[in-house]
């Protein structure tokens, strides 16, 4: 089942399924009940009408044997006692108890049946739509035929009331079944809520999140499997984090020694052959890049281990942006800071500067540098727009560039030495630590625009 192109939830499916089952069941039961009751009432009414008609026919036969009988008065008397209409053929003459009835009120087939010497009955609709039961019997002793018309409007009212009750009962049953289905689905889904919550906590970095042990035999196995999976995942991630941290830490000492040796060699560069001097320059640049990679890996390992916290302080927006640009670029950048609700902006100066600096460095490396930095502050939000002059970011890569070791198309074209692929990933982690967001879009007029949104009070 799908709703507007999206899968329908378990609760909705169970509600619809139970509702349909309840509806079909109630319809089947209602139809069975209605037709059984209707058949019973009709049979009872026909049986009662036939007994009454045959008894009245005997009375009419006895009265018609008298030569001075008034037929019209006789039929009126019978009608008054039975509440039905009476029509009689005596010889070739027809008599009726009411001016509204007569020979034409009797169905042709029933008249023929009685003329052939057989008793019978037939249900017909009168001209006004009323349902009637006509019972006829021959009265051979006086060359007559007796017909009695019974009105079935009371039985129809009873059946109409029964239909209404069954329809209401069927609708109530369907709604009740739908409610039961929703309740049952809720009871089934309820144990899954803690699992979803624990999975979300693990995804957010709480690797020690576990499900509470349960005595439910059906859920115990699922709980144990989930906890075992979470424990295995935590152990693996901790092992990988420790490995990255240990490797990065261990690399710092030999790297520092290499850098120191390169500085000594660089001071005597003039004494070296040109080929050796060029090789030393390349080695220095590579060691510098390697040092940046090691420091980034150390920083990321701290984030993975949840071993970081904000050192929040109050910042003056325009001065902070100017200082950050001065550290990370030598280009002239247009700065526009607007604050609709002047007041303190609290953030971790070092981490926020490094996050913005990584975006600026990324622009320097791949997009010709940052051209404009626009800051818009409100009472609750501070938004940074960093525009560059590059070719822009392909929409398909706008999420991937914030992943680790992802350099995008521009980075791949620039070659292996263009960067580590950790800068924007680290920037995203630092912005997330501030409870903010970072994204990229097209800049009006061409280029890319990195958007950083932070709460006014970023105290972690």
Do 51 and 113 touch, CB atoms closer than 8 A? Answer: no
Q: CA triplet 401, 242, 306: central angle to 5 degrees?
A: 65
Task: Name the DSSP class of 143.
Answer: T
Say what the pLDDT of residue 136 is.
Answer: 93
Do 191 and 219 touch, CB atoms closer than 8 A? Answer: yes
- Give the tokens for residue 36: 């059984």
Looking at per-residue confidence, does 380 or 289 come out higher?
380
pTM, 2 dp: 0.48
Rounded Cα distance, 412 and 424, in Å: 15
Rounded Cα distance, 263 and 280, in Å: 10
Rounded Cα distance, 1 and 12, in Å: 9
Per-residue model confidence as pLDDT tens digits over 284-320? 777 766 666 666 666 766 666 666 778 889 999 999 9
Rounded Cα distance, 453 and 341, in Å: 16
Say what the pLDDT of residue 382 is.
Answer: 94
Distances in whole angstroms, Cα of residue 22 to Cα of each of 17, 162, 239, 363: 9, 20, 55, 64
Counting DSSP H helices and E strands in the chain, the numbers are 11, 14
- Give the tokens for residue 128: 């006004």
Confidence of residue 419 (pLDDT cuts 50, 70, 90): low
Would strands 381-388 and 448-455 be described as parallel, antiparallel, or unpaired? antiparallel
Per-residue model confidence as pLDDT tens digits over 282-292? 777 777 666 66
Can you give the length of the chain in residues?
460
Domain annotation for the chain: domains and CATH numbers: 6-158 (3.30.450.20), 217-304 (1.10.287.130), 312-455 (3.30.565.10)
88-92, 240-244, 403-407, range with greatest mean pLDDT: 88-92
Per-residue model confidence as pLDDT tens digits over 37-73? 989 988 998 898 899 889 888 888 888 887 677 787 8
Identify the sign of the CA torsion 388, 392, 395, 397.
negative
The answer, yes or no, to whether residue 257 has pLDDT greater than 80, is no
Burial of 363: CB neighbours in 10 Å, binned 0-12, 13-18, 19+: buried
Query: Could you count the other beta carbons within 10 Å of the beta carbon of residue 186?
Result: 13
Do 361 and 421 touch, CB atoms closer than 8 A? Answer: no
């Amino acid at each position: 089942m799908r709703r507007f192109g999206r899968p329908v939830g378990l609760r909705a499916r169970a509600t619809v399924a139970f509702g349909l089952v309840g509806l079909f069941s109630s319809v089947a039961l209602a139809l069975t009940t209605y037709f059984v009751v209707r058949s019973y009432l009709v049979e009872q009414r026909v049986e009662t009408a036939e007994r009454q008609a045959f008894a009245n026919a005997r009375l009419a036969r006895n009265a018609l044997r008298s030569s001075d009988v008034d037929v019209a008065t006789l039929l009126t008397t019978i009608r008054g006692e039975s509440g039905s209409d009476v029509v009689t053929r005596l010889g070739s003459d027809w008599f009726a108890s009411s001016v509204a009835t007569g020979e034409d009120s009797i169905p042709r087939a029933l008249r023929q049946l009685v003329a052939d010497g057989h008793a019978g009955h037939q249900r017909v609709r009168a001209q006004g739509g009323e349902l009637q039961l006509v019972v006829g019997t021959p009265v051979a002793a006086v060359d007559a035929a007796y017909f009695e018309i019974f009105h079935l409007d009371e039985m129809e009212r009873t059946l109409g009331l029964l239909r209404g009750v069954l329809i209401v009962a069927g609708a109530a049953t369907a709604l009740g079944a739908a409610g039961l289905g929703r309740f049952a689905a809720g009871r089934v889904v309820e144990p899954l809520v803690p699992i979803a919550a624990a999975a979300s906590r693990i995804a957010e970095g709480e690797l020690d999140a576990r499900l509470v042990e349960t005595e439910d035999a059906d859920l115990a196995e699922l709980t144990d499997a989930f906890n075992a999976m979470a424990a295995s995942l935590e152990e693996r991630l901790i092992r990988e984090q420790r490995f990255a941290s240990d490797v990065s830490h261990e690399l710092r000492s030999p790297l520092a020694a290499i850098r120191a040796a390169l500085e000594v060699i660089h001071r005597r560069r003039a004494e070296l052959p040109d080929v050796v001097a060029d090789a030393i320059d390349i080695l220095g640049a590579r060691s510098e890049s390697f040092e940046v990679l090691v420091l980034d890996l150390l920083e990321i390992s701290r984030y993975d281990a949840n071993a970081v916290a904000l050192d929040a302080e109050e910042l003056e927006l325009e001065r902070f942006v100017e200082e950050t640009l001065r550290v990370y670029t030598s280009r002239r950048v247009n700065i526009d800071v607007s604050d609709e609700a002047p007041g303190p902006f609290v953030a971790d100066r070092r981490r926020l500067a490094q996050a913005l600096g990584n975006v600026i460095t990324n622009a320097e490396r791949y997009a010709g540098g940052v051209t404009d930095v626009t800051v818009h502050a409100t009472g609750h939000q501070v938004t940074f727009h960093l525009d560059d002059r590059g070719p822009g970011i392909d929409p398909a890569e706008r999420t991937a560039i914030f992943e680790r070791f992802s350099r995008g198309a521009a980075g791949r074209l620039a070659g292996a030495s263009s960067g580590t692929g950790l800068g924007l990933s680290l920037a995203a982690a630092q912005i997330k630590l501030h409870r903010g967001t970072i994204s990229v879009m097209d800049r009006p007029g061409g280029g890319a625009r990195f958007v950083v949104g932070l709460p006014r009070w970023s105290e972690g």
